Chains A and B, each alone.
Chain A
Amino acid sequence: MMYAVLHPPNFFAQAATHQRPELRRRPFVVLDGEPPTEMVFAVNKAARSLGVEIGMTRLQAETCSEVIVLPRVIEDERTAYASLHHVACMFSPRIELVEERPGTYALDIHGMGLLYGDAGQLANKLRQSVMAEGFLVNIAVAENFHAAASLSCGRPGISIVLPGCEAHAIGQLPLTALHLTPEDEATFAVWGIRTCAELAALSETDLIARFGQSGKKLHSLACGTWPHLMFPMEPSFEASLVERMELDFPVEELERLLFLLSRMTTTLLERVRSKARAIAALRVVLHLDTKAQHERTVRPALPLQDTSTLLKLIQLDLETHPPSAAIVGLELHAQSATPYRAQHGLFLPQAPEPGQLEVMLARMRKLLGDERVGSPELTDDHRPNAFRMVPFEPPPPQQSERPSSSTPIALRVSRPPQMIGVTLVNHAPGWVFWGGAGYVVRQAAGPVRVSGHWWSEARWCREEWDVRLENGGAERLCRIAYDPRSRCWYVQGTYD
């Protein structure tokens, strides 16, 4: 294994002036924190020569009139990271960000000789590429990861270490290059140990006796023999699940878009299938002629791997919620998930096929409306017949026994309640006039006074009666209610 480590010295200062190179030669400081307690976060060489140090307050930094004060901009740092990352990716497919040293990247250059020549040539090309991006950078190439990292931090320019010479190469570096903890640095300072060679010369056993197991690590670091397990950065798979397309002229008809959406969905599915995954959600962003965006998300109940089903779902959703203007561009963002696998049983009841069910529900939503398709769910409310609609997701089939009980009488609810006329006889309904017909009340049970939400504007209150109505030979059993607020009678429903 051969590592090339690139380290931009004073990374935060370089990042701050990356977009403004004219500031590089002038003294400047970068301040971080909330005003008025801002502190000096980064400082360049010119400012340091004027006596400005990291950790100073804004007031202290401003005492030097020549020093330019810059605020810390996280976005600039992200851009700088992205530039360095981009360059590093050009030289090796296996790169790792060295977390404890800002802006430092380690590249596994094993086998890259055919493309870039030997280690020296590669380091030169790498340095030139990074400098072309506007960063000053040190490069170190070594077989040991930590030795290369220490060298890149401690020695300017390019350093190439031959195999087996790591201890000699880093011997003259100060101990700070090893990135020790402040406590360890203080201890070594007391002992009079200043360089890596002096630390490597100490007996390993004696160091372990004084530092514990960390003593072994310190000694190996100084000798350039501490091993490292590389965790190469991998591009985020989810971030790659995006397809974009700009149209030459605005399109108004959805049918014409479907050709493009089909191609984009297929591409996304191929990408997702290569990782043995499925699409759990698809976000369609339509860029409109009016500079606005129309965004819809299709989220099937189960992750799908089928283009036609996904496309149908997108089509039905866009037909139900059409964009307000012509479309000039479209984006498709996918979210992947593990594919759904069901273990079917021979004796289990049949259930709708998930893909077909999803398309059918989308069609139903288009036909009836979002709120009118689904399963009812009873809500914890005192109001009779309180419920809400939830998406229809039947649980996996399983055998269960029904508790035996008598058959209850069902109420057919009138939505909304129908207004009726009622004549009272002895404080009870005697006649009911409903839908142009008069009914005699043969029997009445009530009143049942129900109310709720008396503490809010949405309060409700009514007196309910169960009545047996008769009109000629026809008989019907209803629940009627009197609303004292509106002083009206309503039919709540019919028992059937």
Chain B
Amino acid sequence: MAAAHAIRLQIEAKLAQRVPAALTLKIKHAPELFATGVTAVDEMLGGGVPRGCITEISGAASTGKTSFALSTIASITQLSNACAWVDVSDALSPEAAAAAGVELRCLLWLRMSAERGKRVADKSWSRLEQALKATDLLLQTGGFGAIVLDMSDVLPEHARRIPLATWYRFRLAAEQARSALIFLTQSPCASSCASLALRCEPGEAVPFSSNGETPLFERRQYQLARERNRNESTHFMRRKPVQRVSWPAETLWSRVR
């Protein structure tokens, strides 16, 4: 045993210039978590979305991705953390953000545009390229609690064209900047770079209420499935089963009623 220890020390000393602590296991600390503001989801995730990691939220339209992301950003901005929303389709509603409790002064909203790049830019960036560049700049600057890259309206075949190296770069940058990087996509594209992968699914259909003379859209039930969580301790080589949780959301006017 002592001989093995001595050999290990000898090898490490030899390789110290090229690979520091080559044979020593790196202790990985559990990342800090940001609460999402949805109690059921927080319970499933063990506290919320991880900081310094990529969280990928995928799902079709009207499955609650934006509502969930806004709720998470609201929780983070309430802690006075600056957040950024990289909006590929320019689809964010400030009214919905304010209603979700987002501190708008703490939110940097970057609206991509197709029209830009006629006069000053020497290259015509597509919206997605602009968004990736903007995310890169945000991560380099650092200091943001969370950065949301909203690609909800980007077709999956376009999102899949983004090279894997981009996601690896983002993962490292997010770790260094200690920012929670949240992707909203139609189908998963960051693959193993995402520490937490969530899938949004339509929940049980809630019919429009008709208490009055005309029907009114009041509430909706969403479902969230946790597909991967790297920060959760599991038995070696055993994948955790997919967990699902249902959470409700309601329209602004139903609060008044």
A409–B249 alpha-carbon span in the complex (Å): 6
Q: Once the chains bind, are B178 and A350 in contact (CB under 8 Å)?
A: yes
Set of chain B residues within 8 Å of A359, measured between Cβ atoms: 141
B219, closest chain A residue (CB): A409
Instruction: Identify which of residues 66-83 in chain B touch chain A, using a CB-to-CB cut-off of 8 Å.
Output: 66-68, 70-71, 74-75, 78-82
Q: Once the chains bind, are B93 and A409 in contact (CB under 8 Å)?
A: no
> How many residue-residue contacts, CB under 8 A, span A and B?
216
Set of chain A residues within 8 Å of B207, measured between Cβ atoms: 443
A244–B38 alpha-carbon span in the complex (Å): 59
Indicate which residue in B93, B105, B108 contacts A410 across the interface (CB closer than 8 Å): B93
Set of chain B residues within 8 Å of A319, measured between Cβ atoms: 120
Q: Once the chains bind, are A367 and B133 in contact (CB under 8 Å)?
A: yes
Set of chain B residues within 8 Å of A393, measured between Cβ atoms: 105
Indicate which residue in B79, B99, B141 contacts A352 across the interface (CB closer than 8 Å): B141
Residue A78, interface by CB 8 Å: no
Residue A461, interface by CB 8 Å: no
Q: Once the chains bind, are A496 and B255 in contact (CB under 8 Å)?
A: no
Set of chain B residues within 8 Å of A385, measured between Cβ atoms: 93-95
Known: A352-B143, A353-B142. A410 touches B66 (CB 8 A): yes
A249–B189 alpha-carbon span in the complex (Å): 54
Q: How many residues of A contact B (CB 8 A)?
A: 68
Q: Once the chains bind, are B153 and A412 in contact (CB under 8 Å)?
A: yes
Interface centre among A398, A399, A408 (most CB of B within 10 A): A408
A398, closest chain B residue (CB): B80
Stretch at the interface among B163-171, B191-199, B210-218, B228-236: B210-218
B116, closest chain A residue (CB): A369
Q: Once the chains bind, are B91 and A412 in contact (CB under 8 Å)?
A: yes
Known: A349-B145, A493-B91. A376 touches B109 (CB 8 A): yes
Set of chain A residues within 8 Å of B107, measured between Cβ atoms: 375-376
**A407-424 to B contact mask, C-beta < 8 Å, 1/0:** 111111111000000000
Q: Once the chains bind, are B208 and A353 in contact (CB under 8 Å)?
A: no
Q: Once the chains bind, are B215 and A444 in contact (CB under 8 Å)?
A: yes
Residue B110, interface by CB 8 Å: yes
Known: A364-B110, A367-B121. A445 touches B80 (CB 8 A): no
Can you sample 7 A-B contacts with CB below 8 Å? A349-B81, A378-B94, A397-B81, A406-B255, A443-B207, A444-B208, A496-B63
Additional A-B contacts beyond A385-B94, A392-B108 (11; CB < 8 A): A349-B79, A356-B141, A357-B141, A368-B116, A402-B37, A402-B78, A407-B71, A408-B255, A444-B208, A444-B215, A477-B217
